[in-house]
Amino acid sequence: GAVVSQHPSWVICKSGTSVKIECRSLDFQATTMFWYRQFPKQSLMLMATSNEGSKATYEQGVEKDKFLINHASLTLSTLTVTSAHPEDSSFYICSALQGSGNTIYFGEGSWLTVV
Amino acid sequence: KNEVEQSPQNLTAQEGEFITINCSYSVGISALHWLQQHPGGGIVSLFMLSSGKKKHGRLIATINIQEKHSSLHITASHPRDSAVYICAVRSRGGADGLTFGKGTHLIIQP
């Protein structure tokens, strides 16, 4: 079946540095990908919608200059957390929309720890 | 914005019991997803529903569009079913991301 691969699974970075998370659809083209964040014991929250070849659409309260999203191809979207802060430590997960239907596949998620 | 409510938040049951998890939402949707999140965080999509009922193995998911309600059932529950089960909805009309419920933390004891 369709697979969405997310990398890295775990990352530790120092405050002030940037970290990039990749989300790839391995066997289908995804014109739309989504990025979510989950803080401990909280529900997943949509951060932004990433459309291939255009600017991402960010949810209210998500800083677009801090969370840079690039969807340069139909199989790859990246999330870059810039000037990382310990408060950015969270579980980040992407999903990809297959075709024009409602089938959504999730990546494995990335645990980010900012020290 | 769609509000998604799940119940119960926590559920502990004995192996073999029949499990029901409920989900209600506030605004019309194009699809509802039931997801399973393991302790490591990874998410598995169990079902996607827009109407009726689906069955996969010991899992059954139903949705009532008029009542804006869905249920996930697990028959003959097993300790390996222990996980967080999340209901997520996609609102009508757009290529929007999902709105998630807070999840149901299920523990099946042997």
Q: What is the pLDDT of residues A39-87, one digit of tens each?
A: 988 888 999 998 888 889 999 999 999 999 998 888 999 999 999 999 9
The 10s digit of each residue's pLDDT in B80-96 is 999 999 999 987 765 57
Per-residue confidence (pLDDT) for residue B93, from 0 to 100: 61
- Over 90: is that where the pLDDT of A99 sits? no
Contact B84, B72 (CB under 8 A): no
Distance separating the N- and C-terminal Cα atoms of chain B: 40
Contact A46 B99 (CB under 8 A): yes
CB A34 within 8 A of CB A51: no
- Centre a 10 Å sphere on the Cβ of residue B90 and count the other Cβ atoms it contains: 22
* Shortest distance, CA B86 to any CA of chain A (angstroms): 9
C-beta of residue B81 within 8 angstroms of C-beta of residue B16: no
Residue B65: the pLDDT is 93
Considering just the CA atoms, what is the radius of gyration of chain A in Å?
A: 13
- Contact map slice: B 14-73 vs A, CB within 8 A: 30-31, 33, 35, 40-45, 48, 50
Rg from Cα positions in chain B = 13
Alpha-carbon distance of A74 to A29, in angstroms, equals 5
Q: What is the mean pLDDT of residues B58-78?
A: 97
Q: Which amino acid is at B28?
A: G
> Would the CB atoms of A109 and B43 count as touching at under 8 Å?
yes
Q: Which two tokens stand for residue A35?
A: 């990025």
